[in-house]
Structure 1
């Protein structure tokens, strides 16, 4: 992975630069802008092996966001609860391997935000269409909370909600464009976050969709 690691390790945010959201949290504007076509191609490969699906919450509600996973572990929700699993419950096979490009961008983005040595083992891939959203939540199903979260936006723009450590705290509203990356960890690791309902539109690369890569150290 040497060449890829070097590529993203040397990547600088785009014209928007780095926006500090809170201690341990940063928005890297345009960080993966130049790599969007290659990243989308990798998403297509993953989805061929593990198709997108709308998972069901423990309360029995189908999520509006379609999801799939790659890596050693995949995030799962069903009537049994929220958890990580090594196999795709839809096929019974292991989740597809995480593309080296995903690992490299996660390590590079984490380093740019002040977190050296990040090695994700799980990547949740979300696909949004008009009206799809993600309610405020915390990422807390992982074993190692010392590791950051790296979230990559591709396709249609979205409004990212970044709150505090309690759900009642009013979140900041940030417009994310294709190629932006948000990293949060350390004192911000358990902040609530979400996505407002996606507005209709058409992106030159993704059409009516927005894709999001959420890379974590789960195991």
Structure 2
């Protein structure tokens, strides 16, 4: 399992460098600093308020996701996108913030020698995990663009399982994502299965003041700007 060891003051005993987990899949440890993490957490708290706030996602088979979610830009529901919360309160989805698009471009530029993505990011899925939440192996396949996906972690460390494009099973690599880490997957890794089998409770930075984990996933929809 990849990931360095934290020191008692929240720093690193061993530096964690950019790592290519699979072709096109890149772990960017600590790309978001403590100030950026606090600012993003406060934004997430505002986005989570109704209307179009944090909700429990129900699957077509009648189950529920253990991670709760709020969407920005486009509202995701299994398995499509809408401009309103069609599986919740029906309110218009909150707008996609320009600063998240800039963060996504920065991450892609850092991950790949080819530089930032030229397509505008317009979707954010904000998932909140408590200590018992999980995310099964799945693919991000409801978009009409193959631009890289950018994942941001805040709060508790998670085990992020990054797999292959053929099946939910092996081969896969488990990566520990800590608060402030970003993970980018595009190119040959864009359609890979991935999930979160475990949260490590009470491992987030104490100064952040977050119990649990927030994951902000940024995507390019490829959908018309007006629907």
Q: TM-score, normalized by length of structure 1? A: 0.86
Separation in 2 of the partners of 1:118 and 1:182? 18
1:102 to 100, 121, 132: 100
User: By how many angstroms is 1:61 displaced?
Assistant: 0.3
Q: Distance in 1 between matches of 2:152 and 2:98?
A: 15
Q: SS of the residue aligned with 1:197?
A: strand
Summarize deviations over 1:67-123 as a string: whole Å, max 9, x none. 01011x12113xxxx111111222322211122221111110011112522421110
Structure 1 residue 202: Cα displacement: 5.9
Q: CA deviation at 1:66?
A: 0.4
**Pair 1:160 & 2:138 matched:** no
Alignment partner of 1:113 is 2:111: yes
- My pick for the range that moved more, 158-167 or 197-206, is 197-206
Aligned-residue offset at 1:126: 0.2
Q: Root-mean-square deviation (CA), in Å?
A: 1.7
Note the alpha carbon deviations across 1:24-74, whole angstroms, 9 max, x for none: 110001001231011111111211243211111111101100001011x12
Deviation string, structure 1 residues 129-154 (Cα, Å, up to 9, x no partner): 01101011111111112x00000000
Mapping of residues 65-144 of structure 1, within 5 Å: 65-71=67-73, 73-77=74-78, 82-89=79-86, 90-114=88-112, 115-116=115-116, 117-144=118-145
* Regions of 4+ moved over 6 Å: none
Aligned length: 200
In 1, are the aligned partners of 2:157 and 2:203 still within 8 Å (CA)? no
2:216 corresponds in structure 1 to 213
- Which consecutive residues of structure 2, in runs of 5 or more, have no partner in the other structure? 1-13
- Cα distance in 2 for partners of 1:31, 1:192 equals 24
Partners in 1 of 2:203 and 2:157 — Cα distance? 10
Map 1:2-81 onto structure 2 (within 5 A). Answer: 15-34=15-34, 35-49=36-50, 50-71=52-73, 73-77=74-78
CA contact (8 A) 1:156 1:206 kept: no
Asked if structure 2 preserves the Cα contact closer than 8 Å seen for 1:125 and 1:212, the reply is yes
- Residue range with higher mean Cα deviation, 45-54 or 132-141: 45-54
Query: What TM-score results when the alignment is normalised by the length of structure 2?
Result: 0.83
